[in-house]
């Protein structure tokens, strides 16, 4: 990695081009200095994770257009409040960048990180159009190395990992189809347009590419009677049929105003059996002739451990000379998921089955259908 100007005190620098780096005190505590762009709901959580929970990281700088909120958070964790996001990206005291701004801003911010040669963990979606996501893939391919990881944190969730292990272990035979639900109790006013597809179900698009190790080749959005309780401007709920390259089919429901809690489940049906992912159980209440358990209230609670493990794996990768952690979604995965989302939007608009078109996969992204990455990506 070209790490000129980085403060990599304590990092494992063996074999790196460290000219100009401050590498004194390699035995002291490792601290990758991360700059965080966007300190809204998840950005704030990630700042706290990077500061207090993840081993080997600290927050060097934050930026948000809500400058007062960003300044307060910066002061809380001992970080700089940058004057703009380009200033944060170019700050020599920032080793790597975590992007948690709205999805339509990601591509410009990611490309700036690539131009600065800095590893970036970009929250999903990588971009809101396939063309924009492709720009990231092309920039990495031109540079010949991957610096981008996409925040599809389910790949770090213990339950989803168990599902993948069951499939790969042959426990259910050949995976043939899956049923999936993705329900939010409600969404903020910033959730507009086709975000059920581009922002919520984009998780399923990544998840099932990864679980089945297959690209998604076509989508069909099935119109559903609209809930009277959701925002009028949202078509909610929705069902999307995903066809995978080997003929497997997934039906995925998005319901972003389901009212009762956050509910992400799936069942994969194979030739010998099935594997089902349920909500993790915290308590089981038996009383008054009923048996009950809590439903997670939101994604922060349901996937808190997955976000933590995802960011820890990223920081571990950076401290051991890699830029993308093993098994994480990379820029190709972000591009493929964005292309599926765009295809689903087109299917919804046209009211017809629509095929996904992907460019040829650059050699840089080894492995098919979102399986574990084969590249070393030395820093």
- Residue 263 touching ligand NAD (CB under 6 A): no
**CA geometry: angle at 333 spanning 97 and 309, to 5°?**
55
SS3 at position 242: strand
Candidate list 15, 20, 78, 102; residue touching ligand NAD; CB under 6 A: 102
Strand pairing report for 57-63 and 32-37: parallel
* Token digits of residue 376: 């070393």
CB of 333 to ligand ISE, least distance (A): 15
**Interface positions with ligand ISE (CB under 6 A):** 184, 199-200, 203, 299
Q: Whose CA is closest to 162, among 171, 153, 175?
A: 171
What is the DSSP code string of 251-301? Answer: EEEEETT-SS--EEEEEEEESS-EEEE-PPP--EEEETTEEEEPPPSSHHH
Candidate list 66, 83, 171, 229; residue touching ligand NAD; CB under 6 A: 66
Q: Which is nearer to ligand ISE, 184 or 220 (CB)?
A: 184
Strand pairing report for 96-99 and 120-123: parallel
For ligand NAD, the nearest residue by Cβ is 40
Candidate list 64, 157, 204, 316; residue touching ligand NAD; CB under 6 A: 64
Helix residue ranges, H only, the chain: 41-48, 67-77, 85-90, 106-116, 130-143, 158-168, 195, 202-212, 299-302, 304-319, 331-350
Q: Which is nearer to ligand ISE, 196 or 323 (CB)?
A: 196
Residue 370's binding partner among ligand ISE, ligand NAD, none (Cβ under 5 to 8 angstroms by kind) is none
What is the DSSP code string of 27-51? Answer: TS---EEEEEE--SHHHHHHHHIII
Q: Whose CA is closest to 295, among 281, 307, 306?
A: 281
Q: Which is nearer to ligand ISE, 299 or 348 (CB)?
A: 299
Q: Which is nearer to ligand ISE, 141 or 152 (CB)?
A: 152
Binding to ligand NAD (CB under 6 A): which residues in 126-155? Answer: 151, 153
Applying CB under 6 A, what is the total number of residues that bind ligand NAD? 25
Residue 184's binding partner among ligand NAD, ligand ISE, none (Cβ under 5 to 8 angstroms by kind) is ligand ISE
User: Which window, 96-104, 176-184, 245-253, 267-275, contacts ligand NAD (CB under 6 A)?
Assistant: 96-104
Residue 223's binding partner among ligand ISE, ligand NAD, none (Cβ under 5 to 8 angstroms by kind) is none
**CA geometry: angle at 344 spanning 342 and 350, to 5°?**
105
- Residue 100 touching ligand NAD (CB under 6 A): yes
Q: Which is nearer to ligand NAD, 212 or 303 (CB)?
A: 303
Binding to ligand NAD (CB under 6 A): which residues in 34-53? Answer: 37-43
* Token digits of residue 346: 């087109």
User: Looking at residue 103, what DSSP letter applies?
Assistant: G
Residues pairing with 254 in the sheet: 182, 238
Residue 34's binding partner among ligand NAD, ligand ISE, none (Cβ under 5 to 8 angstroms by kind) is none
- Residue 238 touching ligand NAD (CB under 6 A): no
Residue ranges binding ligand NAD (CB under 6 A): 37-43, 63-66, 85, 100-103, 105, 123-124, 151, 153, 190, 199, 299, 303
């Amino acid at each position: 990695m070209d790490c000129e100007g980085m403060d990599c005190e304590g990092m494992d620098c063996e074999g790196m081009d460290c000219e100009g780096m401050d590498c004194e005190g390699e035995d002291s505590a490792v601290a990758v200095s991360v700059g965080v762009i966007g300190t809204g709901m998840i950005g704030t959580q990630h700042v706290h994770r990077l500061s207090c929970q993840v081993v080997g990281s600290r927050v060097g700088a934050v930026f948000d257009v809500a400058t007062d909120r960003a300044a307060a958070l910066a002061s809380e964790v001992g970080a700089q409040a940058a004057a703009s996001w380009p200033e944060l990206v170019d700050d020599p005291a920032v080793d790597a960048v975590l992007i948690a701004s709205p999805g339509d801003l990601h591509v410009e911010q990611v490309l700036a990180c690539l131009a600065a040669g800095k590893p970036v963990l970009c929250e999903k979606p990588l971009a809101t159009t396939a063309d924009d996501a492709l720009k990231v893939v092309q920039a990495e391919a031109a540079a010949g190395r991957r610096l981008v990881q996409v925040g599809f944190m389910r790949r770090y969730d213990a339950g989803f990992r168990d599902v993948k292990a069951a499939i790969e272990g042959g426990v259910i035979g050949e995976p043939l189809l899956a049923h999936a639900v993705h329900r939010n109790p409600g969404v903020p006013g910033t959730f507009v347009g086709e975000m059920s597809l581009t922002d919520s179900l984009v998780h399923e698009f990544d998840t099932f590419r990864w679980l089945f190790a297959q690209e998604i080749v076509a989508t069909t959005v099935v119109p559903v009677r609209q809930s009277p309780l959701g925002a009028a401007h949202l078509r909610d709920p929705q069902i999307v049929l995903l066809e995978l390259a080997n003929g497997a089919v997934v039906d995925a429901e998005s319901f972003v105003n389901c009212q009762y809690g956050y509910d992400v489940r799936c069942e994969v049906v194979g030739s010998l059996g099935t594997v089902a992912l349920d909500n993790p159980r915290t308590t089981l209440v038996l009383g008054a002739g009923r048996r009950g358990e809590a439903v997670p209230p939101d994604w922060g609670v349901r996937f808190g451990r997955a976000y933590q493990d995802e960011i820890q794996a990223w920081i571990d990768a950076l401290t051991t000379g890699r830029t993308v952690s093993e098994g994480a979604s990379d820029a190709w995965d972000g591009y493929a998921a964005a292309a599926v989302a765009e295809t689903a939007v087109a299917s919804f608009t046209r009211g017809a089955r629509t095929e996904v078109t992907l460019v040829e996969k650059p050699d840089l992204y080894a492995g098919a259908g979102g399986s574990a990455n084969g590249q070393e990506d030395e820093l």
